[in-house]
Amino acid sequence: MRKLILMALCFCLLVLPASAGTELITNGDAETGDTSGWTVTDSVGYLVYSGPWGRYSGSYGFILDTPGDEMYQTIMVPTESQLTFYYKCANANDWLDIDGTTYSDFTNDEIWHFYSRTLSAGTHTIKYHSYSMSGNNYFCFDDVSVIAEEAPPIMWSQSSYLASDIANITYNYPSYSASSENFIDIRSYNPTSTVWELEERRMVYSDSGSIQYVVPAYESRQFRAELMTRVSVLYNPVEIGNATMQMTSEDASVVFDKYLYDRDENMTFGYYNMPSGSYVQFHSGPTADGATYFQQYSGLSGNGTAGYQLPSNGPYGELFYVRAYDSEGNQLSYDYAYTENEPTEKTTIHGRVRDSDTEAVIEGALVTVGSWTTLTDSFGDYSLTIDKGTWDIEISKTNYITKTVDDFTFSGTSYSYDPYLQPDPTASTTLHGTIANVVGGAISGAQITVSDGTSTKTAVSSSSGSWTISNMVEGETYTVKATATYYENHYGSLTFSSSSNTYAIVMVDGTSEGEEEEDDSGSSGGISNDEDDDSSSSSDDEYRPGRAAARGTLEQAEASIPGMFTVLMIIVFMAAIKKGSK
């Protein structure tokens, strides 16, 4: 007996469905006893039936038996799902309307039947109605259901696209960590090489969202979007999920049959949907900007193939472009490929640098791997050939936060790295300055103030003479003042711009021209010695305070001369009177 019970339980586990998703229809079984959850219009009859004749299960069902009866719900379907319900009717009218399309594919034998229709992802309005009736006519329905299955972690908004379409890809990380590198790899399947080639990598910075992707031109190719994560570039990425779509081409396009060629191969490319009189040009060079034209294929139309035979002694790691033009010289399409790298203890790293906020490419970013450096071109692309080994990677650009990868081991022949740089939130509002004397010597400890008339900001120069002031306002005009011991004060003005945010100050020595001449006479020098002065100081800095004190004494004496002259005149006058009285 226990064996039979155990077998029955196992059977139930096998045949029972997996845990259900979310029900999107409200009150689809009428068990509230009313039309709660439904929008009812133009009803002149009753819509809820409690008798056993008008219900499939439970205590209630819905019935349409009067012209003008209508009830509907609008739902959002996250993924492709099934609308299901049970019905019986006396006449196969168009009882069902989905998004304005009516359906009358019902069996009118007045017994209960199961009905199912596929709903695509999106918003749908499901409506039951009766437009006209005659005789014994009715439509009973019950247990209306749309089960929303859990959305996949990544999906395309369409199952197919044309070349140059903007595809929308939505993603949702089941478990998200902001400290990890999270990204979407977009690959296409090359039927010639039977490889899923990486088309683009997009970094993502939230647990869910969407990205847009411009579909490149191929005759026909399958694309796959892969939702990935990894702790850092030192670890292998982990795939969370993937989704595919099919691309077809109606526009003109040109494409190499693979991405990497041996030096003695024929670089074959295909062209598709070319208007009459089109031509294709071959370019090569170290970068896209530096690629130069060297061969042309003219008189092309429709579909076909052509190619260029690489010489066996050709360059390693060379970039090749094909560009297609119509008869008027308008560019229609392009593609690129590389020749193999030199088979030595060298490796290459290449990729594209983008802005993490706008996803725009960044030109002029400095890429440093070990002691090797290069700058990104106008497409944001870079390529470096380096020795194999373990090196630090650094990507930097003014007004961006530097991105670094420590101790990455290069053991293969080629690596792709597409970093996203985050804009520096403080860089665009910071004024950077230097302060020096007339001969270029740095002045440390100088006080610099900038004022816009309502607020004042202050900085003190470092030992190298550099200083910074943050929270500057774009387009605001500031007055600048700099003070330093033994130097004349500096006054100036500037209008702050994030694109030109530097200010250099040159300080003039605090002595006047006459004093400099006096120094030259030998009566008073910048550096004193025992023969010229009782002071034992040999430092100009130590001497200057004494000199300033002497100057003050002299000025005080000069100020007292008029009073002394008056006293002298009185004495002379009194002496004259005394002499006359004798």
Q: Which residue has the higher pLDDT, 259 or 557?
A: 259
Q: Is residue 570 part of a domain?
A: no
Average pLDDT for 169-197: 89
Q: Please say if the pLDDT value at position 150 is more than 90.
A: no
User: What does the pLDDT read at residue 562?
Assistant: 54
d(CA 130, CA 134) in angstroms, rounded, equals 11
Confidence of residue 497 (pLDDT cuts 50, 70, 90): confident
Average pLDDT over residues 144-160: 86
DSSP string across 299-331:
EEEEEEEEEEEPPTT--TT-EEEEEEE-TTS-E
Task: State pLDDT tens for residues 193-213.
Answer: 888 899 999 999 889 999 999
Look up residue 251 and give its amino acid: D
Domain that holds residue 460: 427-507
**Is residue 550 scored above 50 in pLDDT?**
no
Distance CA(117)–CA(139), nearest Å, equals 18
What are the backbone dihedrals phi and psi of residue 463, each rounded to the nearest 5 degrees, phi first? -65, -25
Instruction: Return the higher-pLDDT residue of 537 and 194.
Output: 194
Q: How would residue 149 be classed by pLDDT, with cut points 50, 70 and 90?
A: confident
| Distance of alpha carbon 164 from alpha carbon 333, whole angstroms | 10
From 96-110, 352-366, 526-540, the region with the lowest mean pLDDT: 526-540
**Position 526 pLDDT exceeds 70:** no
| Same domain? 494 vs 466 | yes
Sign of CA dihedral 561, 566, 571, 573: positive
Q: What pLDDT, on the 0 to 100 scale, is given for residue 285?
A: 78
Above pLDDT 90, what percent of the chain? 33
Q: Which position has the higher pLDDT, 344 or 476?
A: 476
Among residues 340, 374, 393, the one where a domain terminates is 340
Let me know: does 235 contact 149? Beta carbons within 8 Å: no
- For 240-269, the pLDDT digits (tens) are 999 999 887 667 778 887 778 887 788 888
Q: Do you know the residue count of the chain?
A: 582
**Pairwise CA distance, residues 119 & 25, whole Å:** 13
Return the amino acid letter for 458. Answer: T
| 336 plus 408 within the same structural domain | no
Share of the chain above pLDDT 70, in %: 79
d(CA 150, CA 82): 13
Q: Which of 99, 115, 148 is the last residue of a domain?
A: 148
Better-predicted residue by pLDDT, 66 or 392: 392
Q: 498: domain CATH number?
A: 2.60.40.10
- Asked if 357 and 462 sit in the same domain, the reply is no
Q: What is the mean pLDDT of the chain?
A: 80
**What is the predicted pLDDT for the residue at 515?**
42
Please give the residue that has the higher pLDDT: either 561 or 157.
157
What gap in Å lies between CA 492 and CA 402, rounded to an integer?
33
- Max Cα-Cα span within the chain: 164
- Asked whether residue 374 is assigned to any structural domain, the reply reads yes
Q: Which residues of 433-469 are buried (b: 16+ CB within 10 A; e: fewer)?
A: bbbbbeeeeebeebebebeeeeeeeebebeeebebeb
Q: Does the residue 533 lie in any domain?
A: no
In a domain, 327, yes or no: yes
pLDDT at 260 (0 to 100): 80
pLDDT of residue 510: 76
Quick check: is 137 in a domain?
yes
pLDDT surpassing 60 at residue 541: no
Write down which residue in 309, 340, 371 finishes a domain.
340
Residues 405, 457: one domain?
no
In this prediction, residue 280 carries a pLDDT of: 92
Burial letters for 129-162: b for 16+ Cβ neighbours within 10 Å, e otherwise?
A: bbeebeeebbbbbbbbbbbbeeebbbbbeeeebe
> Phi, psi at residue 185, to the nearest 5°?
-95, 130
- Among 155-164, 390-399, 524-533, whose mean pLDDT is lowest? 524-533
136 and 29 fall within a common domain: yes
Quick check: is 27 in a domain? yes
Residue 428 pLDDT greater than 80, yes or no: no
C-alpha–C-alpha distance, residues 514 and 516, integer Å: 5
Is 328 in the same domain as 391?
A: no
Number of domains in the chain: 5
CA distance 97 to 103: 6
Residue 440 has pLDDT above 60, yes or no: yes
The rounded distance, in Å, linking the Cα atoms of 59 and 570 is 133
Segment among 125-139, 260-274, 440-454 with least mean pLDDT: 125-139
pLDDT band with cut points at 50, 70 and 90 for residue 342: low
Asked if the structure places residue 59 within a domain, the reply is yes
Q: Which residue has the higher pLDDT, 297 or 317?
A: 297
pLDDT tens readout for residues 43-60 = 556 688 888 888 999 999
Residue 486 domain-assigned?
yes
pLDDT band (50, 70, 90) for residue 191: confident
Q: Are 186 and 202 contained in the same domain? A: yes
What CATH number does the domain containing 169 carry? 2.60.40.1930
83: pLDDT strictly greater than 50: yes
Whether 142 and 159 map to the same domain: the answer is: no
419 and 433 belong to one structural domain = no
What mean pLDDT do residues 475-494 have?
94
